[in-house]
Amino acid sequence: MEHAADEQTIMNLIMAGGNAKSSAFEAIYAAKKGDQETAKAKLKEADEFMVAAHNAQTDMLTQEAQGNHVQVSLLMVHAQDHIMNAITFRDLAGEIVDLYGRLD
C-alpha cells in the first residue's frame, strides 16, 4: 500500500539541503577572505544540516523497507534534488577551503 510522504518531512529535506548549501558557500567565502576558522565552522554547520537531512531520508527508507511504500511526488523529487546538490556542493566546498588554506 502506498502513502504520501509527510509534507513536513519533505519541506525539512528541502530546508536542510538549502541550508547546507548556503553554509558551504559561506565557508568558501570565508576561506577566500583568509578566515579559515570561520570556513571550518561553516563546513561543520553544513555537515550538521546534512545529518538532519540524512536522518529524515533514513526514516523514509526504513518505512519503505517495512513495506510502507512512499508515493513519489514532484515535491519529493525536488527535495531529493536539493539534497543531492547540497552533498555535492559541500564536498566541493571542503576541497576549496582546503585549497585556500594551503595558499595562505
In the chain, at which residue ranges do the beta strands (DSSP E only) sit? Answer: 2-4, 69-71
3 annotated active-site: no
Per the residue annotation, which of 3, 54, 69, 78 is the catalytic one? 78
Helices then strands, each counted (H, E), the chain? 3, 2
Cβ atoms of 47 and 40 closer than 8 Å: no
User: Phi first, then psi: what are they for 52, rounded to 5°?
Assistant: -60, -45
35 is an annotated ligand-binding site residue: no
Q: Which positions are annotated as active-site residues?
A: 78
Residues in the annotated binding site for Mg(2+):
81
Residues in the annotated binding site:
81
